Every structure is written in structure tokens, then in C-alpha cells.
Chain A
């Protein structure tokens, strides 16, 4: 019998080594972009590189102190993606544009918030107490962009923005975290009810009608987002998040069947009623038809230019700063994947997709390892949210599915998305810390009561 050494180890030094590599990728990308610009290595470059490195190392030190056993590869992956994103957004900035510096500011804010969360929250299980508060918070966050006064109005066909002083913010991004907390809390305590009651029809066991309540709520939320905010991407994200969490909680395939039926039905009706959904489908299906290409709004110009860009990039890409991504509308946010495909080629694009895949597997690893049902569901839901976002965006850009306006996590320009995703990373790190830390299995005595918490 051979036993592998499975004693938990903090592995923070591994993280430090990987972090240095990740920073080399991020800063290296910036340097490559700068080489091809008119003013190589100006103060902006040094400013950006140093601040990114400081933020990454600060996070690392906090993990050393507060979450010693957290997963060692999550932080390096995220820093590499964020650094690459900063370089690419900076690369798209014309003279006078401030998107790059804005993204840097949001990166620092997001890292600071994630650090604060890890420092003060310590244990993700505390979040379970806020199950129904999170539901209320999600509802509030989703309604905010429709409230006159703080709403930033309809931007690019979707009203998902609010105005906070000089900045705009997308509260829906935060809502995906609060919704994940609500689903995890609700499902971990009501799983038995949903699981045991129900009628069997053929091989599928269908839930009782009154247990469908949360399912209907989730469906209504997604339809509401679609109708009132005209945001197809978030609508798909919220509903997908719910289906996956309920499937993970109950392991009943019937939920997935019901969910897919509801979303296909809803999507079909929406494409008939709302012109923006219909246009999306049409410009996906008939992208290369000249009338569809030239139509405004709702034409397929963006998708087709992105595809041309990626074709131009080929296997190894044109090199950072040497492509023509300025031909693609929104090359620094919605279409940043097309920009990577063009300038880093298929090889670079696959590397980025693999980074996301690794991040997702680490999230699921944390879910498998953690010992409480709430933590398992939360980690599954959060890592799935990131994965679904990647699928919807990359699938849309490569014309696998209709293009919808979701952000590419950590890469795309957009402060709210960056903030939300860094908070998700903070939560995943916290969950992986509890999953990987050593367990004391000796029986409890009164003398050891200082070490354990009395509930």
C-alpha cells in the first residue's frame, strides 16, 4: 500500500513564484504594446506596471496572513488576465482617451475591496446568515438602473447603468454575487424539500408545484432584466446560474430540462416581441448578408469585423500593437477576445481560454474540498458564473452563439465587472482556504474550548 503525502501545506511560496511569472506576462504585454507606440516606456507604463505589481503582492501578503491555506494558483491566474487586459485596453487608447487609466484605477479599487473582504470576513459561512438580505439586495441592485435620478439612462440600447458622482456603475454585476449567495443559502437549507417531494413522470422526477417558487422567481428576474433593461447577456447569466446551482444541489436532471424549456420558450417569445433580441439572432445567423452587415442599429458589422481580425491574426498573431483592431467596434470591451485572437493569434487565444479553464477548475476544486453545503454551492455557483460569462462572450465573438453584451471577466474594460469578479476571487480564495486547511480530529474537551467556537 502506497500512501501519497496529502498533509495540507500552505503553498504560499508556490503562489509567489507563479505570481512573479503572471506579472511578467502582464507587464511584458504592456511593454510589447509600448514598443509599438510613439512614446515607448513613458511614465504611464511604469506607473501601470508598478501599481499592478504592488496590488498583486499586497494581495499575496494578505493571503499569507489571513488565508494561509488558500489555493495557490487562483491569484496568479487572475493577475495574469488582469495585467493582459490592462495592456490591451491601454493599447486601444487613442490620444486623449482615458480608458486604460480608468481600468487601472478600477483594478486597484477592486483589489482593495477583495483584500478587505478576505481580511474582515475570514470565513465564508458568515454569508449564510445574509441569505434573504442578499435576495433583497439583488432585487434592489437590479431595480436601481430603472430608478429616475440615479439611472444613467439608456446606453447602447441597454439601461443597466447608474451614475455615482463622476463614475458610472453596473449594479447587475454585483447582483450576480448576491444572487449566488441567496441561491446557495436557500438551496442548502431547503434541499430536502425540493429533493424528496415530487411526482415521477417517466425517468424524470418532477418537483412539486409549490417547490417551483424559487425557479419561477429566477425565471421572472431574468425575463424582467430582458424586458426592462434590455440586457440579454445578464438575463442568460442569472438564469444559467440558478439552473446550475439547483442541479448541483439536487442532482436532478429534471431541473435542467425544465430550465432549458423555460429559457427556450422565453427566448423564442422575446425574439418575436423585442426587436433587439430578433436583431441579435438575425445578425448571428445571417452575419455575412450585406443588408444585415450594414443595418444600423443591430447589424452584424461588429461580429464580422472581429472574425476578419481573428482570421488576420492566424496561428501566431500579428504581434501586440501591430494589428488593426480599431476596425472592430468596442475592441477593448465586448470584442477584446477578437483583439487577442488578432494580435496574439490562436496560440495566444488558447492560452487565455486555458487560463479561464484553470480558474474554473480551481473554483470547483474548492467546492469539492469544502465541508459545508453552503460553501460548496457558493463556490460552484461563483465559478460557474465566470465560466458561463466566458462561454457567452467567447462563443458570441467566434459566432458559435448570438453575441450578447456580457463582459469578459478580468480582461474587458469596465469597472463594475472588474470589481465583481475580484470579489468573486476573494470569496473563492476564502472557500479554498477552509477546504484545504488541516482539520483537528481529536475529541473536544472543555479545556480546548478556546480553540473552538461555541455556536
Chain B
């Protein structure tokens, strides 16, 4: 085989390597979005001045959560007073709120205070924990009145 063909093949192979890399990167591009909503186009300060209705609603003064209420499920109506310590939710006997729910895991989720807010975190449960229809992937803050679902049980924080 001639010198020229060999050289062409040599460069061709390097090119092929980089074609592979660029195809992988372009295949990944779409993936960078998964798991979060791409919210673009929040109104700028100038747009708000021109159209006051675009302004985000001013948040109401924060109220502290004082109790946890079970609003649905076998334990409906149960309330737990919130102190400063974390709360373990699950079927296990050591849980703070022992859920009698076939769809809850032993150590299902954990509710813990940080700053002035309460956060909920899934502890690797089988059926997952849902905060307002979103399955938890990490600890998230729980606002007052937002339903947290564990199996058939739904709990809420109340002032």
C-alpha cells in the first residue's frame, strides 16, 4: 500500500475518533435538561415597570409551621406538634409518626427543620415520597399547606 493511503488512513482514524466524541456530545445535549423545567423569560425589571401585572406576586409574610396534620390515609386526623427535632416517618416502631400504611417503608422519609423552614427528604423508600405530585429526588423545603404523600397517607404542615 502506498505511503499516501497510509497517511490518509492515519488522519482518517484521528478524524473518526473525534467524530465519535462530537456525536456523543450532541447526543447528550438534550439530556442536560432532564429533571428540571427550563423556565426562561422571567420578566426583567424594565418590563415590570411597563406592565405592572407581570410583577411576581409579593410573598405573604412567612408563618412558622407548628404542627403536622395527616389529612388522608389510615391515620387521618392525627396531628403531631413540631418541635426543633427532626421527624422520622415510616412503619418502623422507632418512627416519630408510625404510619400504618402498607405502601410506606419502614424508614420512609424524614422531616427536618433548617433555619425557619422544614425540609422533607426521602430515605430510600420503595414507593417514593411526593411533594405536591413531584417525587422527591433530594431534600426539599415544605411550605405550609402543601400536601406530602407517602403511600396512601397525605400529610400537611399547618401554622
Contact = CB atoms under 8 A, between A and B. Distances in A.
A12 to B, nearest CB: 12
A368 B40 CA distance: 22
B24 A73 contact: yes
A344 interface: yes
A441 B103 contact: no
A441 B147 CA distance: 13
Contacts of B6: 35-36, 319
Nearest to A77: B24
B40 A2 contact: yes
The 8 A-B residue pairs with the shortest CB-CB distance in the complex, in nearest-first order:
A4-B38, A351-B17, A372-B124, A455-B126, A319-B10, A455-B105, A371-B137, A441-B133
A404 to B, nearest CB: 27
Interface string B36-60: 1111110000000000000000000
B80 interface: no
Contacts of A344: 13-14, 17
Contacts of B21: 351, 354-355, 358
A201 interface: no
A246 B151 CA distance: 31
A200 interface: no
A392 B124 CA distance: 33
Interface in A319-345: 319-320, 344-345
Interface of A is mostly: helix
Interface stretch (A16-24, A112-120, A138-146, A160-168): A16-24
A18 B16 contact: no
Nearest to B106: A455
Q: Could you say which of B21, B36, B149 has the most chain A C-beta atoms within 10 Å of its C-beta?
A: B21
Interface string A372-384: 1110000000000
Nearest to B24: A73
A3 interface: yes
A78 to B, nearest CB: 12
Contact of B23 (A21, A32, A347): A21
Interface of A: 1-4, 6, 8, 11, 14, 17-18, 21-22, 24-25, 28-29, 32, 35-36, 71-73, 76-77, 80, 125, 128, 188, 192, 316-317, 319-320, 344-345, 347-348, 351-352, 354-355, 358, 362, 365, 368-374, 436, 439, 441, 443-445, 452-455
A316 B9 CA distance: 12
B34 A369 contact: yes
Interface of B: 1, 6-7, 9-11, 13-14, 16-21, 23-25, 27-28, 31, 33-41, 86, 91, 102-106, 122-128, 130, 133-137, 149, 151-152, 154
A6 B154 CA distance: 27
B137 A454 contact: no
A370 B137 CA distance: 7
Given A371-B122, A453-B127, A25 B17 contact: yes
A28 B134 CA distance: 47
Nearest to B11: A316
A45 to B, nearest CB: 15
Contacts of A455: 91, 103-106, 125-127
A320 B13 contact: yes
B135 A371 contact: yes
Contact of B13 (A17, A28, A192, A436): A28
Contacts of A128: 124
A454 B14 contact: no
A76 B35 CA distance: 23
A72 B28 CA distance: 9
Given A1-B41, A358-B25, 16 more contacts: A2-B39, A3-B38, A6-B35, A17-B23, A28-B16, A72-B27, A76-B24, A188-B124, A347-B14, A351-B20, A371-B128, A372-B124, A373-B124, A374-B124, A443-B149, A452-B127
